[in-house]
């Protein structure tokens, strides 16, 4: 008799698996995905199967999102150490047996496929750091902070050494966000940021002298120096990266207030925008949808990011809070760096625009990251109910 009450119906068991998502976050994801698909349809028109492939990547990412959302944060915490350890092991293996292309050793041949292990660390590093701070909750002293710094610096240095400055900085920033949310002293943060700002100003002022041929900069590789100089004066390299920046800016500016309309972008369709389906897709979007479109896109991202921060604020455990906060700010970094690069206020680095740029790996990572956010949001609602 009692069995009838204790045994929930199949529907009741399946319902949370299918639905229990955070409504606002899901709405933001769907809006951004729709923008991504529309834009890809236009820019990928003369580009073979780009649109269909983009859609397929999104479906795969959606499936991963759904799967990751089923994993409760406690289970995720148990995964932190093994995933991070495997990631580091693969990075070391890459440094020893890796495949070198264009002077960079970033890829590892596993026999059946070639992978780029640094991609794993983008999520594994914040995961590991969040796990560490959860473990040391309430007794954070200098040794614990030192250990956290080590957890962050090992993958950062391994990736920077490949060399892959872009990815290593993304790993560093994801880790620093965890440190920031864990309570890193403002006394450390403020001077570093001030120094950075001063450096940028100095760079702009000193551009005419330090970008002369023959001037070597400390720390940076020649191509990195070249990128910074190209940003400061795009006309210097009209066939290379400078061409990208110039044509990107023309595309954005010519879009005007309302844009040239869907499929009407001349810069895009006459192939003036290089890499228009990947890193420079924002230029194509801006040309066709204008200021209204770009501000709309910024708004959609803002909505998405704020919802992510709110999920972090409400999260039940320190681990979940730190992870949610770091993931949200990491996605913000992608958005800001990509848009900043295309609109010409940041140097050209190969960072895609989440949801919009073509690229399977980035889409998969994004799906997993949002899945984790969803899982954290769900665990918090389960706690309340």
Partner 1 sequence: MTELRNVERELDSFRGRLLAAALFVLFCFGLLAARLVWLQVIRHDDLATQAESNRVAVVPVVPNRGLILDRHGVVLANNYSAYTLEITPSGLADTLEATIDALAEVVEVTPRDRRRFKRLQEDSKNFESLPIRTKLSDEEVARFVAQRFRFPGVEVKARLFRHYPLGDVGSHLLGYIGRINTAEKTAMEDWDEEDIANYRGTEYIGKLGLEQAYERELHGKTGVEQVETSAGGRAMRRLAHQPPTPGNTLMLSVDIRLQALVEQLFGERRGALVAIDPRNGEVLAFVSKPTFDPNLFVDGIDTESWRGLNEDIDKPLLNRALRGTYPPGSTFKPFMAMAALNSGKRGPHTIIQDNLTFSFGGRVFGSPESDRPGPKDMRLAIVGSSNVYFYTLANEMGVDLIHDELKPFGFGRKTEIDVQGEVTGDLPSTEWKRRRFSRPEHQKWYAGETISLGIGQGYNNFTMLQMATATATLASGGQRYRPRLAREIVDVVSGERRRIASDALEPLPLKPEQVAVIRDAMGGVPKEGTSRAAFMGAAYASGGKTGTAQAIGLKAGERYSQIKADERKRDHSLYVAFAPLEAPTVALAVIVENAGFGSTSAAPIARRVFDYLITGAYPSEQDIALVREGKATAPVGAPRAATDVPLPSINGALLP
Residues making contact with partner 1 (CB under 8 A): 46, 101-103, 138, 177, 180-181, 183, 223, 237-241, 243, 246, 249-257, 266-267, 270-272, 286-287, 290-291, 294-295, 298, 301-302, 305-306, 309, 312-313, 318, 321, 325, 328-329, 332, 336, 339-340, 343-345
Query: Which CA distances in Å does 66 have to 18, 21, 22, 143, 382?
Result: 8, 9, 12, 38, 17
Task: Work out the number of other CB atoms within 10 angstroms of the CB of residue 130.
Answer: 28
Collapsing DSSP to helix, strand or coil, 104 comes out as strand
Is the CB of residue 182 less than 8 Å from the CB of residue 131?
A: no
Cβ proximity to partner 1, 64 vs 273, nearer residue:
273
Is the CB of residue 87 less than 8 Å from the CB of residue 124?
A: yes
Residues contacting 23, CB < 8 A, separation 6+: none
The residue among 181, 140, 131 whose CA lies nearest residue 311 is 181
In the bound complex, what is the minimum distance in angstroms from residue 256's beta carbon to partner 1? 5
Cβ proximity to partner 1, 71 vs 314, nearer residue:
314
In the bound complex, what is the minimum distance in angstroms from residue 103's beta carbon to partner 1? 8
Is the CB of residue 358 less than 8 Å from the CB of residue 40?
A: yes
Residues contacting 231, CB < 8 A, separation 6+: 245, 344, 346, 347, 348
Cβ proximity to partner 1, 120 vs 129, nearer residue:
129
In the bound complex, what is the minimum distance in angstroms from residue 338's beta carbon to partner 1? 10
Cβ proximity to partner 1, 281 vs 318, nearer residue:
318
Cβ proximity to partner 1, 14 vs 292, nearer residue:
292
Is the CB of residue 28 less than 8 Å from the CB of residue 253?
A: no
Cβ proximity to partner 1, 85 vs 266, nearer residue:
266
In the bound complex, what is the minimum distance in angstroms from residue 331's beta carbon to partner 1? 10
In the bound complex, what is the minimum distance in angstroms from residue 146's beta carbon to partner 1? 20
In the bound complex, what is the minimum distance in angstroms from residue 319's beta carbon to partner 1? 12
Cβ proximity to partner 1, 70 vs 224, nearer residue:
224
In the bound complex, what is the minimum distance in angstroms from residue 63's beta carbon to partner 1? 29
What would the DSSP string read from start to end of 50-86? HHHHHHHHHHHHHHHHHHHHTS-HHHHHHHHHHHHHH
């Amino acid at each position: 008799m009692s069995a009838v009450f204790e045994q929930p119906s199949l529907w009741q068991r399946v319902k949370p698996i299918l639905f229990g998502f955070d409504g606002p976050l899901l709405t933001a994801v769907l809006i951004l995905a729709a923008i991504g698909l529309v834009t890809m349809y236009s820019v990928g028109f003369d580009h073979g199967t780009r649109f269909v492939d983009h859609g397929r990547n999104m479906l795969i990412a959606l499936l991963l999102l759904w799967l990751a959302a089923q994993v409760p944060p406690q289970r995720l915490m148990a995964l932190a150490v093994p995933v991070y350890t495997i990631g580091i092991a693969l990075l070391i293996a890459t440094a020893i047996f890796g495949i070198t292309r264009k002077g960079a050793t970033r890829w590892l041949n596993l026999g059946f496929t070639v992978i780029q292990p640094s991609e794993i660390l983008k999520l594994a590093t914040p995961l590991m750091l969040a796990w560490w701070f959860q473990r040391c909750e309430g007794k954070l002293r200098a040794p614990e902070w030192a250990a956290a710094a080590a957890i962050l610096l090992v993958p950062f240095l391994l990736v920077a050494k490949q060399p892959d400055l872009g990815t290593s900085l993304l790993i560093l920033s994801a880790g620093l966000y965890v440190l920031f949310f864990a309570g890193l002293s403002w006394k450390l943060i403020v001077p570093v940021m001030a120094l950075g700002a001063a450096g940028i100003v100095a760079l702009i002022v000193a551009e005419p002298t330090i970008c002369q041929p023959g001037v070597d900069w400390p720390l940076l590789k020649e191509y990195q120096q070249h990128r910074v100089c190209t940003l400061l004066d795009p006309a210097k390299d009209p066939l290379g990266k400078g061409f990208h920046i110039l044509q990107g800016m023309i595309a954005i500016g010519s879009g005007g207030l309302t844009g040239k309309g869907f499929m009407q972008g001349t810069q895009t369709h006459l192939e003036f925008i290089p890499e228009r389906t990947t890193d420079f897709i924002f230029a194509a979007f801006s040309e066709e949808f204008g200021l209204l479109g770009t501000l709309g896109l910024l708004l959609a991202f803002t909505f998405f990011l704020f919802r992510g921060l709110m999920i972090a604020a409400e999260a039940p455990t320190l681990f979940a809070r730190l992870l949610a906060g770091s993931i949200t700010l990491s996605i913000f970094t992608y958005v800001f760096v990509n848009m900043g690069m295309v609109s010409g206020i940041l140097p050209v680095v190969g960072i895609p625009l989440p949801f919009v740029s073509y690229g399977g790996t980035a889409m998969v990572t994004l799906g997993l990251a949002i899945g984790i956010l969803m899982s954290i949001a769900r665990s918090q609602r389960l706690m309340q109910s």
